[in-house]
């Protein structure tokens, strides 16, 4: 069931967490959609083996850190342009990333993505999802692909990742 919403990439991150910790206090934040964001240099994320391999097949447009303030919700939605993303939690104290199948029903089943440290996840941005964040800012690494949801789907990337055992 989780593959419908997200997929854990087996090869763990080795560089991004340390880069984030070292540079958080000097980051140049900007508004990106409804988030505060900070673009990460290409040479940092390309040093990560799984991202480098995925980028050869599916060009990554940009990657960076997204911040959501404490005691906020990023309400149920599907991303407007992205078909998929690659995400990794960098810092959080108490937050939840939830998925559900459809809109309209009062009672619905949900699936939670419980992020593991230093772990990348292929994330289905076209499945309804939300983020509920509590007592501290939440920082998430996220990649955006060159191709939009019309040309690059979560399923296409997932199939390739499984075939190539990433």
pLDDT tens, 76-111?
999 999 999 999 999 999 999 999 987 778 899 999
Question: Is residue 156 a part of any domain in this protein?
Answer: yes
Cβ distance 153 to 78 under 8 Å? no
Phi and psi angles of residue 154, each rounded to the nearest 5 degrees, phi first: -55, -45
Residue 43 is part of which domain span? Answer: 2-67+80-94+114-127+137-163
| 98 bridge partner residues | 112, 130
Query: Does residue 65 surpass a pLDDT of 70?
Result: yes
Cβ distance 126 to 154 under 8 Å? yes
Question: Is residue 153 a part of any domain in this protein?
Answer: yes
Number of domains in the chain: 1
Q: What is the DSSP letter of 64?
A: E
Distance CA 65, CA 37 (A): 5
Other Cβ atoms within 10 Å of 7 Cβ, number: 21
pLDDT in tens, 20-31: 999 999 999 999
């Amino acid at each position: 069931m989780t593959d419908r919403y997200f997929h854990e990439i087996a090869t763990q991150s080795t560089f991004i967490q340390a880069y984030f910790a070292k540079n958080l206090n000097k980051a140049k934040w900007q508004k990106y959609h409804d988030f505060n964001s900070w673009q990460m240099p290409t040479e940092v994320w390309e040093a990560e083996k799984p991202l480098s391999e995925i980028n050869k097949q599916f060009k990554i447009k940009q990657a960076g850190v997204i911040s959501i303030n404490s005691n906020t919700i990023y309400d149920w939605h599907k991303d407007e342009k992205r078909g998929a993303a690659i995400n990794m939690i960098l810092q959080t104290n108490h937050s939840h990333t939830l998925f559900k199948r459809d809109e309209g029903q009062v009672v619905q089943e949900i699936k939670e993505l419980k992020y593991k440290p230093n772990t990348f996840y292929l994330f289905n941005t076209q499945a309804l999802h939300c983020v509920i964040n509590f007592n501290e800012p939440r920082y998430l690494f996220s990649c955006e692909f060159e191709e939009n949801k019309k040309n690059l789907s979560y399923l296409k990337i997932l199939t390739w990742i499984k075939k190539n055992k990433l």
